[in-house]
Amino acid sequence: MSHQKNCQSNSNFKFSPYGGARGGLFLSVLIPTYDYTCYKLVYDIHEQAEALGISYEIIVAEDGSHSPVNIIANHKIIDLSNCRHLQRKENVGRSAIRNILAQEAKGDMLLFMDSDGKVVRDDFVKKYIDAAKDHDVVCGGMKCPDVCYDPHKQLRWKYEKRYEQKVGCISEQFRSFCFLISRKVADVVKFDERYTQYGYEDVKYGKDLKTARFEIYCIDNPLENKDIEDNEAFIRKTEEALKSAHTFSSDICDEVTVVRTYNKYKSLGWLIRAFFCLFKRPMKSNLLSSNPNLILFNLYKLGFYSTIK
């Protein structure tokens, strides 16, 4: 069965005249979501696109969402011009849903973004369009909230904030949180649909782009991550991601720090595993606290990775 037949699509299209930075530019904004309300994100992007007078569409795809509340809230986007809402009954994963969105899109430039992003700049869309004049792949990065008052969400917040303080909002690696890609590149390099679980599908995609000799151009134009998970959920997602990294270690071993580190000290794997088994409980206790230690988090990740079979 084709991807299109698996989707229920609703839209209210009134295309704007062509305009903007690249003559006949048509921009497709593509947002995969799973049990998350992204109406405000769509509304803000819609306002910026309308103000620019470009031809555009915004497509939100529910990847097997179960929450009626979120689905109904997202469905309101069809009241906005040029917006579509696709509802898929089955969850196909973070890679396949992006390929499906690219297939559905009509644009010659595709702007992907995660549904839990928040627009923090009035010229967010314009900066991507300006960059599209000269570049086929543009990454804008991810911004961490300035503060996090919830004591149960400190691990993810501290982890992202430390990274942001080190390199800025622009990632050292390709991140799919928000990026623009030309149709001609998206048709050649697709997300690897073997990556069905959470984790590292964007790392693999970035590597595939480089292998195909497409330049990844980074600009300081992030969305802010609104969905900071609690400590327990973040540990669970990290473990899931590490399992993905282990399954596809031959693909991404040079790109993932924990894989590189483990491979470097693989002869001591038995010692790493023994350390993890001995100290897993106290380490996890710290990571679940209101003041998690990021060094312990890195040790936890290395130890957990060493136990995956």
Residue-wise pLDDT for 43-76, tens only, equals: 999 999 999 999 999 999 999 999 999 999 999 9
Same domain assignment for residues 50 and 89? yes
The percentage of the chain sitting over the pLDDT mark of 70, rounded to a whole number, equals: 92
**Boundary residue ending a domain (228, 252, 275):** 228
Does residue 167 carry a pLDDT above 90?
no
* Judgement on whether residues 168 and 259 belong to the same structural domain of the protein: no
Average pLDDT, the chain: 91
The confidence score (pLDDT) of residue 206 equals: 95
Instruction: Output the six-digit token pair for 39.
Output: 């109406």
Asked if 302 and 276 sit in the same domain, the reply is yes
Residue 2 has pLDDT above 90, yes or no: no
- Whose tokens are 């595939």? That residue is 208
Residue 21 has pLDDT above 90, yes or no: no
- Calculate mean pLDDT across residues 4-11: 48
The mean pLDDT value for 234-240 works out to 98
If pLDDT is split at 50, 70 and 90, which confidence band does 168 have?
confident
For residues 291 and 217, membership in a common domain is answered with no
Task: Check whether residue 210 and residue 240 sit in a common domain.
Answer: no
Structural domain for 256, as ranges: 233-307
**pLDDT the model gives residue 7:** 52
Residue 274, pLDDT score: 97
Q: Last residue of some domain: 185, 203, 228?
A: 228
Question: Hey, what are 56's tokens?
Answer: 């555009």
In the structure, what pLDDT confidence band is assigned to residue 115 with cuts at 50, 70 and 90? very high
> What is the count of structural domains for the chain?
2
Share of the chain above pLDDT 90, in %: 86
211 and 259 fall within a common domain: no
Domain stop point among 228, 249, 275: 228
Cα–Cα separations (whole angstroms), residue 21 to 83, 89, 128, 166, 244: 22, 38, 10, 33, 39
Q: How confident is the model at residue 169 (pLDDT cuts 50, 70, 90)?
A: confident
200 CB contacts (<8 Å, ≥6 apart)? 241, 244, 245, 248, 252, 256
Burial class of residue 226 in the structure, from the number of CB atoms within 10 Å of its CB (0-12 exposed, 13-18 middle, 19+ buried)? middle
- The CATH number of the domain holding residue 153 is 3.90.550.10
Token digits for 90? 């089955």
Adjacency order of strands within the sheet including 83-88: 7-12, 83-88, 55-63, 26-33, 109-113, 178-182, 137-139, 217-218
Q: What number of other Cβ atoms are within 10 A of residue 73's Cβ?
A: 15
Both 188 and 201 in one domain: the answer is yes
Q: CA 2, 192, 228, 165: dihedral to nearest 10 degrees?
A: -150
Residues 129 and 18 in one domain: yes
Are residues 17 and 138 located together in one domain of the fold? yes
Same domain as 193, residue 259: no
Pairing mode of beta strands 137-139, 178-182: antiparallel
Q: Are 222 and 255 part of one and the same domain? A: no
* CB-count burial class (<10 Å; 0-12, 13-18, 19+) for 94: buried
Mean pLDDT of 302-308: 97
Could you report the per-residue pLDDT of 175-214, keeping only the tens digit for each? 999 999 999 999 999 999 999 989 999 999 999 999 999 9
Alpha-carbon distances of 91 from 16, 102, 208, rounded to whole Å: 33, 17, 24
Q: Is the confidence at residue 18, as pLDDT, over 50?
A: no
Q: Is the distance from CB of 139 to CB of 217 less than 8 angstroms?
A: yes
- Does the structure show a pLDDT above 50 at 22? no
Q: What is the pLDDT of residues 82-100, one digit of tens each?
A: 999 999 999 999 999 999 9
Q: List all residues 6 or more positions away from 153 whose beta carbon is below 8 Å from its beta carbon.
A: 228, 229, 230, 231
Q: Is 216 in the same domain as 179?
A: yes
